[in-house]
């Protein structure tokens, strides 16, 4: 008989693999830019648009997927998104010009939009608020594991066998994710939206959310965070390679070190935020990231300094992302959570796309120092918005609501376990 803990582990691993695959295929672009530029003769000023094109499509289709997710349930949207992403990544093998690669990134962006916020929304549906920091920490460590394994391996494969191979590798892991969700991940027993999904109802719902100050502030903070990340990360490997004449293997090692920091920090910060609150950790990390971004080009005088600096940066990123994702799940009710997570993901991806577009312009015109200064400004802006406008959700009220959900989930798990036992006896 399968226990509730076993169900949780299977669900968390499935969502972890989803985050691993989805985040890796985004992050791999940055270290592969020099290879892509050389193999496809892609102008440097256009390379940032490989990130922006993906991000803008994610932003648009996340808005479309949000209300659909609330209506049809998280499981179906997860299956649809993972299938679409598997196909889109496999098609990268047909990109023999930089224009074709741009088209493939647009297609991947559509799939990414369907998936945006889906894993975190599922955590919000399945787990009570006082355990969401812990659960989010584990699934978001998939992104960190991508930095440890996926990005270094993909970077090395890309350097020796061409940029298409890493995308095919992540198509395989995303296909495995689809199989796991199909077999093991159930639809949580929560209230779904009863409103018909139309353009008018979606726009009305999003507008109603944005009229709430705490929601508006949260998505604007998300926007500022992603602009800063886009400005900072996309051309960091290019700057390091041009400044210190290093290889792709050394960049891969840097991402691996950053991923280790993320894996160590993410689950612990999630659990800590369950105990002491989210807001203080988020503010501390935002300020720390802003300081590091501002000082990057002044601090890194020898390449080896990039290793501990990137380790510290990824620790602070994990300290920010995990508690912030958990905090977002408490800003709306169950039947509107998908819309909220998709809205925040959409605005965040728009910010990432804008950051990527600006990064290409500023890097080509003024050098990487201008990227870091603008990135620092947006990071500190996110901290100000959170400090001024986003309160810490009251844990006692949320705990009462979570207890009711726990009863429903336990009943649901018990029914699923009994059904599995009956099925095994019959066969």
Residue 1 pLDDT more than 50? no
Rg for the chain (alpha carbons), in Å? 21
Residue 166 pLDDT more than 80? yes
Q: Average of pLDDT values for 367-384?
A: 96
- End-to-end CA gap in the chain: 15
> Which residue would you say has higher pLDDT here, 349 or 407?
349
> Which residue would you say has higher pLDDT here, 73 or 367?
367
Retrieve residue 289's tokens: 């990231």
CA distance linking residue 362 with residue 351, whole number of Å:
16
CA distance linking residue 25 with residue 167, whole number of Å:
6
Domain assignment of residue 204, yes or no: no
Retrieve residue 241's tokens: 């390679």
3-state secondary structure 164-176: HHHHHHHHHHHHH
Per the CB < 8 A criterion, the answer to whether 235 and 372 are in contact is no
| Domains of the chain: total | 1
Task: Note the Cα 79 to chain centre separation in Å.
Answer: 17
Q: Which of 59-63, 118-122, 371-375 shows the lowest per-residue confidence on average (mean pLDDT)?
A: 118-122
Number of residues that make up the chain:
427
> Which residue would you say has higher pLDDT here, 3 or 185?
185
Q: What digits encode the pLDDT tens for the residues 330-371?
A: 787 767 777 787 788 788 878 888 888 898 889 988 999 999
Q: Which positions ≥6 away from 149 have C-beta within 8 Å?
A: 256, 259
Per the CB < 8 A criterion, the answer to whether 51 and 141 are in contact is no
Phi/psi region, residue 394 (left: phi>0; alpha: psi -120 to 50; beta: rest), is beta
Domain assignment of residue 301, yes or no: yes
Residue 188 pLDDT more than 80? no
Retrieve residue 55's tokens: 């991000």
Residue 249: predicted pLDDT: 81
Q: Average of pLDDT values for 42-46?
A: 82
* 274-277-280-286 Cα dihedral, nearest 10 degrees: 40
Retrieve residue 43's tokens: 């102008």
Residue 197: predicted pLDDT: 66
> Could you give the percent of the chain with pLDDT greater than 90?
33
CATH number at residue 386: 1.20.1250.20
Q: Which of 147-151, 153-157, 262-266, 409-413 shows the lowest per-residue confidence on average (mean pLDDT)?
A: 409-413
Q: Average of pLDDT values for 190-197?
A: 63
> Which residue would you say has higher pLDDT here, 425 or 71?
71
Domain of residue 311, residue span: 4-186+210-402
Per the CB < 8 A criterion, the answer to whether 185 and 118 are in contact is no
CA distance linking residue 221 with residue 233, whole number of Å:
18
Domain assignment of residue 408, yes or no: no
Residue 313: predicted pLDDT: 92
Mean of per-residue pLDDT scores for the chain:
83
* pLDDT confidence band for 2 (50 / 70 / 90): low
Domain assignment of residue 51, yes or no: yes
């Amino acid at each position: 008989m399968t226990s509730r803990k076993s169900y949780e582990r299977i669900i968390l691993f499935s969502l972890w693999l989803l985050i691993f695959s989805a985040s890796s295929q985004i992050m791999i672009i940055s270290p592969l830019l020099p290879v892509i530029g050389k193999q496809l003769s892609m102008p440097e000023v256009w390379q940032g648009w490989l990130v922006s094109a993906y991000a803008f499509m994610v932003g648009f289709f996340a808005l479309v997927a949000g209300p659909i997710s609330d209506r049809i349930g998280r499981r179906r949207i997860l299956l649809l998104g993972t299938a679409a992403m598997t196909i889109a990544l496999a098609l990268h093998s047909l990109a023999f010009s930089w224009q074709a690669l741009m088209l493939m990134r647009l297609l991947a962006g559509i799939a990414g939009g369907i998936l945006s916020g889906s894993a975190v929304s599922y955590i919000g549906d399945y787990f009570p608020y006082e355990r969401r920091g812990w659960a989010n920490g584990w699934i978001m460590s998939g992104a960190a594991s991508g930095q440890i394994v996926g990005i270094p391996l993909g970077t090395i494969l890309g350097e020796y066998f061409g940029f298409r191979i890493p995308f095919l590798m992540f198509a395989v892991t995303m296909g495995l994710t689809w199989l796991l969700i199909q077999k093991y991940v159930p639809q949580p027993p929560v209230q779904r939206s009863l409103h018909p999904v139309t353009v008018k109802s979606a726009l009305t719902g999003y507008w109603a959310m944005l009229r709430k100050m705490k929601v508006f502030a949260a998505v604007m903070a998300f926007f500022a965070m992603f602009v800063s990340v886009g400005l900072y990360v996309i051309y960091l490997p290019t700057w390091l390679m041009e400044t210190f004449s290093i290889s792709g293997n050394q960049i891969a090692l840097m991402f691996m070190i950053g991923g280790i920091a993320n894996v160590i920090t993410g689950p612990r910060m999630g659990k800590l935020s369950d105990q002491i609150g989210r807001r203080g950790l988020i503010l501390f990390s935002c300020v720390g990231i802003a300081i590091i971004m501002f000082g990057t080009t002044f601090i890194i005088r020898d390449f080896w300094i990039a290793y501990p600096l990137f380790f510290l940066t990824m620790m602070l990123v994990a300290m920010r992302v995990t508690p912030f994702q958990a905090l977002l799940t408490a800003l709306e009710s169950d039947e509107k959570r998908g819309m909220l997570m998709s809205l925040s993901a959409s605005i965040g991806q728009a910010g990432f796309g804008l950051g990527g577009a600006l990064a290409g312009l500023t890097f080509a015109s003024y050098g990487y120092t201008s990227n870091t200064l603008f990135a620092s400004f947006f990071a500190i802006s996110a901290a100000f918005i959170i400090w001024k406008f986003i309160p810490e959700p009251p844990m006692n009220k949320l705990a009462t609501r979570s207890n009711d959900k726990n009863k429903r989930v336990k009943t649901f798990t018990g029914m699923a376990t009994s059904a599995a036992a009956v099925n095994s006896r019959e066969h």
